[in-house]
Amino acid sequence: MNSLTIALDVMGGDKGPLITIPAAIMAVNHLPSLSLILCGDQHTIQDILHKNNALNHPRLSICHTTQVVAMDEKPSTAMRSKKDSSLRKAIDFVEQGKASACVSAGNTGALFATAHFVLKTLPGVERPALISSLPTRDKDNHVFMLDLGANVFCDADILYQFGLMGAVMAEQVDGVCKPRIALLNMGEEDIKGSDHIKLAASQLAQNPDINYVGFIEGNDIFNNKADVIVCDGFVGNVALKTCEGVATLVYEKVKSVFEKNVFAKILGQFLAPTLKKLFKSLNPDQYNGASLIGLRGIVVKSHGNANKKAFFTAIMEAVKEVERQVPEKIKDSLEQGLIQRP
C-alpha cells in the first residue's frame, strides 16, 4: 500500500483535541503508511501530543490555525469569516492535493457548506450527499443510506444520481457485487409516493448497470432487502435520528428493567456488552462516521459527540475511501449513468 496523508480538523467536536489527537496517534500507530496533518491550535496540539509521548512522531505534522468554528455557528458565517479555522484548513489541504481526505467532528452544516464551496462537486453531480451505513438483521451485512441530511429536497435527477453514487460506495467500500439499490417510500407498490420518487424509480429501473430492486418501507431498512437505500436529505435525516431515538429509548427501558433488583442487576452485567454494541451501531454516525460524497475530494464527518474510538473509525473510513478511489469511481459511474439515463 502506498503512503497516504489525511488532514484532520482536530479542534472540531464536543471534546475537540482531547479525543481527536489521541485518535490520530492511534491511527498512525495502527497504519504505518498513514501520515496525518493536525489542523488546530499549535500550542494545544503540542501539549496533548507531549502528554501522549508523541510530540515528535514522524508522521504527525501540525498546521497551526487561529480560528475555531463553533458547533452552533451558522454555516454561512463560518464560511465567510473563518478562513483560518481548523475545519477550513483541513479541507484546503484536500483541495490543494496535499492531503487525500479530511476528517472532522465539527459543525456539520459548516463542514458541508465549506467542503461544497472549496472542493466543488464532481462533473455531472448536482448535489453532494451524506451517506452512512446502518446495521441489518443479518450481522454480516449492512446497508448504506443516503442522503442523510445534506439536502432538504431532492428531485428525481438528484435521487437517480444518489442511486449511482450509493452503488459505488457499496461496491468499492464494502465489496458488494451488483449492489441492490432501493428507494425509501411510504409503500412498496408502484403507485405509492411522490411524482419525483416514481420518476427516479423509472430512471433507476431503466439503467442496465444498476440493480434496482424497487421501493422499500421504513420497517424494512434493517431487513437486508437492499445494499443501498436512497431518499432525500429530510427523510433520511428524520429516519436516521428516529433510529437513534428508538435505540436510546429501548436501551433506557431495558436498563431500567435491570435496575429493579439485585438478581436483575446481575443479569444486566451479563447482557451489557452485547446491548451496548447493538445500540451504538444504531447511532451510525457516532459509530462509523458519515461521508459527504459527490465532491472532488473525500470528506468524512465524525459525530460531534465522538469518542477516541469513533474518531479513529472515521479516520479509517477515510483511509478506505482513499484506497478505493471513491471520488474517481463516482465520477466514472456518473458519466456512464448519465449516458444510460432515458
Q: Which spans of this chain sit near a copy of itself (rule: CB under 8 A)?
A: 74, 135-137, 149, 152-153, 184, 186, 191, 193-194, 217-223, 231, 233-235, 237-250, 252-254, 257, 263-264, 267, 270-271, 274-275, 278-279, 282
User: Which residue, chain included where needed, has cell 438528484?
Assistant: 158
Q: What's the closest the beta carbon of residue 12 comes to a copy of itself, in angstroms? A: 18
Query: Minimal distance in Å, beta carbon 265 to a copy of itself?
Result: 12
Question: Measured from the CB atom, is 206 or 248 closer to a copy of itself?
Answer: 248
Give 12 or 135: the residue with its C-beta nearer to a copy of itself: 135
Cβ-based nearer residue to a copy of itself, 88 or 303:
303
Minimal distance, residue 86 CB to a copy of itself, in Å: 22
- CA dist., res. 67 & res. 13, Å (int): 14
Task: Report residue 223 as a C-alpha cell.
Answer: 431487513
The least CB distance from residue 269 to a copy of itself, in Å, is 11
CB closer to a copy of itself out of 139 and 177:
139
> Are 318 and 300 spatial neighbours (Cβ–Cβ below 8 Å)?
yes
In whole angstroms, the minimum distance from the beta carbon of 220 to a copy of itself comes to 7
- Distance between CA 22 and CA 51 in Å, rounded? 10
Alpha-carbon distance of 292 to 166, in angstroms, equals: 11
Please identify, using beta-carbon distances, which residue of 56 and 219 lies nearer to a copy of itself: 219
DSSP string spanning 273-337? Answer: HHHHHHHHHTSHHHHT-EEEESBSSEEEE--TT--HHHHHHHHHHHHHHHHTTHHHHHHHHHHHH
For β-strands 129-135 and 101-104, DSSP reports them as unpaired
3-state secondary structure of 142: strand
Which set of grid coordinates corresponds to residue 50? 507531549
Which CB sits closer to a copy of itself, 158 or 334? 158
CB of 141 to a copy of itself, least distance (A): 13
CB of 14 to a copy of itself, least distance (A): 16
Alpha-carbon distance of 227 to 221, in angstroms, equals: 10
Q: Which residue has 411510504 as its cell numbers?
A: 186
C-alpha distances in angstroms, 44 versus 40, 65, 120, 304? 8, 11, 31, 19
**CB 86 within 8 Å of CB 7:** no
Least Å distance, CB 45 to a copy of itself, is 30
Shortest CB 236 distance to a copy of itself, Å? 9
Between 87 and 282, CB nearer to a copy of itself: 282
Shorter beta-carbon distance to a copy of itself: residue 174 or 220: 220
Contact indicator for 95, 104 with CB cutoff of 8 Å: no
* Residue 138: C-alpha distances to residues 127, 143, 224, 282, 291 (Å): 32, 10, 7, 14, 23
Q: Which is nearer to a copy of itself, 5 or 151 (CB)?
A: 151
Quickly list DSSP for 3-66.
-EEEEEETT-SSSTHHHHHHHHHHHHHH-TTEEEEEEE-HHHHHHHHHHTT-TT-TTEEEEE-S
